[in-house]
Homo-oligomer: A and B are copies of this chain.
Amino acid sequence: MQKKTYSAQLLQYIPFFYVIWSDDLVTASEINVVQNALKKDPSLSKEQKDQLLGWLDPERPPKAAEMKNWKQTISSSRVKLVESVNFPLAIFSQRLTAHYYHEHPFNEHLKQIEIHLGIQPNHYKHLFDVEVAHNPNSDYYSAREIDTLLKGKHAKLIDGFRATLNDPIFEWDIHRDKEDFREVVLDQVKFLARRDYGALAYPEAYGGTYDMEGYAHMFENLMYVDGSLTIKFGVQFGLFGGSIQKLGTKKHHDKYLNEAGKAELLGCFAMTETGHGSNVRGIRTTATYDPATDSIVIHTPGKNDNKEYIGNALHSKMASVFAQLIVNGKNQGVHAILVPLRNEAHELLPGITVEDNGYKLGLNGVDNGKIWFDQVAVPRENLLNNYGDIDKEGNYHSHIKNPNKRFFTMLGTLVGGRICVARAGLGGAKFALGVAVKHALRRRQFNDSIKIQEDLLMDYPSHQLRLTPLVASAYVYHFTLDKMMELYCDEGQPDKRVVETQVAGLKSIITWYANQSIQECREACGGKGYLLENRIADLKGDVDIFTTFEGDNTVLLLLAAKGVLSDFKAEFNSAGFTSVLKILGMQLNDTLTTINPVYTNKVDKEHLYNPKFHKHAFNYRTKRLTYTLAMRIRNYIKQGMPSYQAFLKVQTHLLALGKAYSVELAYNTFTDYVGQMPEGKYRNLFEKLGTLYALHEIRKDAEWFLEQGYLGGNKSKAIRQRVERLCTELRPHIEVLVDGFGIPEHCMSAPIAR
C-alpha cells in the first residue's frame, strides 16, 4: 500500500483518532465530545470536517489499513512525545504539524478533546513507535500535601510521634527468640510511655490529653515500626489502662491510671477463655463476693475455663479480669475486677498460674499467656464499678437495671479498641503497599523486545491491577476510620449502638482487606517479598490474627447484619434474636423499584464514574439483601422453626449483608469527606480514588448484581474495563500515592524499597 499523506488540518487530528480507535473504550459520549470539537473548529473546511466525522462513525470504524497508515505517518514524523507536559497529545499533534502551526495559533479544540476524554500518556504511549521522553513518576501531586490531608487535625501530634520513632530504639531488626524479642518490645513501650504517648487518651489529670482520635492515628503509625510493639502498646494502654479508665471510677483512676499510662504498672486484659472465644457472656470464671471477708474471690472452675491468649500476661503485675460476678448467690453478669498477679519480685501470687502460649505465626514480641485462678481473693474495691457496684452492706447496685443492657454498655466502652485494630491493619496494608509499589518502580522484568530495556514491573497491566485498587481502598478506609473514631468519641451522642455496629462490620472488612493486600504485596515482590528484611513477611504473620482478635470477623459481621436488619434498634452484641424479630414482624415492604433496562445497560463513562451510580448500587444491594433476608427469616419462623435455627439457616446471607453494608458505609463516608474538600486537583484525585474503590467493589460482587438483573452483561464488562483503565491513569501518580501515606523514611527499612 502506498503511503497516503494528509493535510495539516487532518493530520493534527490523526493522533487523537488513532488513540480513540486503538482503545477498547470508544463510547457514544466520547464520540460526541470529538464531534462537538470538530464542528466548532474554524480551521477545518466543510470537506475536512466531513472526512473527520466519517472516521468517527462507530457503525463504520476506520479500516485497519487506514489506521496503519495513520500509525506510519506518526512514526515516520520522528516527533518525540513528551510525557511530562500538560497536554502531551495536543502538543504532540502540534509538533507533528509544525510547519502549519508555525503560521497558525495553537488549536484549542485539540486541548478540549484531550481534557474531556481524559486521555493520558499511559493510554497511548505504547501505541506509538516514537521516542517517549518519560518520567516514570509524575510530580503533578505532592506526597507531602496528601500526607497533610491524611493527618488532618492530628498533624502536630503525628509529626512529633513520627520524629520520636526515629530513635535508634525503634530500628527494625530480626528477633527470633521470643524472650529477647519481648524485652525489646517492652523497652520500646516504656520509652513511648515516658514521652506521654501511652496516656494520650486518658484525661489530663492522668497525664493525657483525652485524645482518643489522635491515639488511633498513632496506633496506625506504630505498625511502621513493628506489629508486636503496636499490639503490646494497645494491650497496656488501650485494654488494661482503658478498662480502668472506662469501667473503673475515680478511686481506680487515682490509684492506677498514672502508673498504667507510664508503663510503671504493667497490666493485662483477661477476658477471652479457652472454651469461649467469641462468647464473652458465656465465660465461666467466677468472681464471688464473700461478705465475711468483704472480698471478691476469683476462680477458674474447669480445665478449659482459663483465660487464653492474654497479651502482656508474662510481664504484668495486674490483670483486669472479666468474670461472672456473684453476689448473695445471684449472678449479676460479667464484670471486670482488678486482680494483682505478681509481687514486686515478679513472683506469681498464691492461687495464680500463668503459662506461656508459646510461639505464634507472628507477634512473637507480645507475651501471650494463659491464666488460671484458684480461689484468689481481692478487696471489694477492686471491682471496676462504673456500671455495677457492691455496697458496704454487700448488696449489688447498678444504674443500668437490665443486665443485658449493662453488659453491652460495658463492652461498648471498649469498641475504641476495635477501631484501633482496624487502623493497625490499615497501617500494615499501607506499609506493604509502600514496599511493593516502590519495588515495582525499581525492578525491571523481562520483555521480548531487544531494542528497549526491560519494563518496570509497575508498567505491567496485571501489576497495576493487583496493586492500584488496594492503594485506593487504603485512602477510603483511612477517612472512614477517622470518621468512626470521631463519632465514637462524640460525647453529644451517648447512644453508641449505631457506631458500635458499624465498627463491627468495618473492622471485619478492613482487617480482611489488610491481609489480602499484604499477601498480594508479598506475591508482587516475588522471592524478595519472602525475606524478612523486606518487612512484608512479618506483616503477614502479625496482621493475620487481626481477623480473629477483638472479635472474630465472622461473628462481627453477623452482629453488623443483625444491626442492619433491626435498623440498629436491636441490642448490640446480643446473641438473642428476639429483638430483631420483633422489629422484623412490624412491617416489611419491598421499597425497591424495578431497575430500568436502560440503566442496567448504561455503559458511558459519565455514568460509571458518577458517585450517584455507585451509591445507588451499594444502597440497592444493602436494601435488597435486607429485604430478602427478612422475608426468609419470617417464613421460617411462621413455619414454626425456632428463631435460633432460622438464623443459622440464613448465616451466609447475613454475612453477605454485613459486608455489603460495611462497604456502602465506607464509600459514603469517604465521599462525604471528599465532598467538603475545596475544589481542585486533590479533590479530583480523591474522587478518582473513590471511583476506583467503588467500581472495584462492584466488580468483586458483580455476580450478585448480575443475578439480580441490576447490571447487564455489557455494563459489568464496561466496569471491568474502567477499573483497568483507572489503574493505568493512576500509574504516573502511584509513587506519590504511597508516599502520601506518610510512612517515615527511617521506618521504611526494606532494601527493595530503597
Contacts and interface: CB of A to CB of B under 8 A. Distances in A.
Interface of A: 21-22, 24, 64, 67-68, 71-72, 126-127, 129, 174, 176-178, 272, 276-279, 281-282, 308-309, 357-362, 445-449, 460-462, 465, 515, 519, 522-523, 526-527, 529-533, 537, 540-541, 544-545, 547-549, 552-554, 575-577, 632, 635-636, 638-645, 647-649, 651-652, 655, 699, 702-703, 706-709, 713-714, 716-717, 724
Contact of A531 (B127, B357, B641): B357
Contacts of A540: 361, 540-541, 544
B359 A174 contact: yes
B548 A527 contact: yes
User: 9 tightest A-B contacts by CB?
Assistant: A279-B446, A361-B537, A706-B706, A702-B703, A64-B638, A71-B640, A707-B713, A703-B703, A359-B532
A638 B22 CA distance: 10
A527 B545 contact: yes
Given A540-B544, A651-B460, A651-B461, A359 B176 contact: yes
A195 B616 CA distance: 67
A645 B64 contact: no
For the complex formed by this chain, how many copies does it contain in all? 2
A516 to B, nearest CB: 10
A249 B553 CA distance: 57
A400 to B, nearest CB: 22
A540 B541 CA distance: 9
A308 B532 contact: no
Given A446-B279, A649-B461, A530 B360 contact: yes
A460 B648 contact: yes
A647 B699 CA distance: 24
B537 A462 contact: no
A649 B545 CA distance: 38
Contacts of A724: 652
A640 B68 contact: yes
A67 B281 CA distance: 35
Contacts of A359: 174, 176, 531-533
Nearest to A574: B448
Contacts of A308: 527
Contacts of A552: 526
A703 B698 CA distance: 11
A178 B531 CA distance: 13
23 contacts: A22-B636, A22-B639, A64-B638, A68-B639, A71-B640, A176-B178, A277-B527, A309-B527, A358-B531, A358-B532, A359-B531, A361-B541, A462-B651, A522-B544, A523-B553, A526-B548, A527-B545, A529-B548, A540-B544, A706-B706, A706-B707, A707-B713, A709-B713
Nearest to A700: B703
Nearest to A446: B279
Contacts of A448: 575-577, 643-644, 647
Contacts of A360: 530-532, 537
A134 to B, nearest CB: 15
Contacts of A541: 361, 537, 540-541
Interface centre among A177, A272, A278, A527 (most CB of B within 10 A): A527
A533 B358 contact: yes
Given A445-B279, A526-B548, A638 B127 contact: no
Contact of A449 (B460, B642, B651): B642
A462 B654 CA distance: 10
A340 B515 CA distance: 43
A168 to B, nearest CB: 21
Contacts of A714: 707
A157 B708 CA distance: 53
A360 B176 CA distance: 11
Given A548-B527, A652-B465, A707-B713, A641 B361 contact: no
Nearest to A363: B530
Nearest to A578: B448
Given A176-B177, A527-B548, 12 more contacts: A67-B638, A176-B176, A282-B446, A361-B532, A361-B537, A447-B644, A448-B643, A449-B642, A519-B519, A530-B545, A540-B540, A702-B703
Contact of A639 (B64, B178, B362, B529): B64
B361 A462 contact: no
Contacts of A129: 642
A717 to B, nearest CB: 6
Contacts of A176: 176-178, 359
A276 B549 CA distance: 40
A672 to B, nearest CB: 29
Nearest to A710: B713
Contact of A638 (B68, B178, B462, B544): B68
Contact of A707 (B515, B638, B651, B717): B717
Nearest to A276: B446
A693 to B, nearest CB: 18
Contact of A71 (B309, B632, B639, B713): B639
A509 to B, nearest CB: 14
Interface centre among A72, A127, A276, A446 (most CB of B within 10 A): A446
Contacts of A708: 713
Contacts of A361: 522, 530-532, 537, 540-541
A420 B494 CA distance: 60
Contact of A713 (B276, B357, B537, B706): B706
Contacts of A545: 527, 530
A517 to B, nearest CB: 13
Nearest to A699: B703
Contacts of A553: 523
Nearest to A549: B527
A515 to B, nearest CB: 8
A645 B126 contact: yes
B462 A652 contact: yes
Nearest to A540: B361
A277 B272 CA distance: 46
Contacts of A277: 445, 526-527
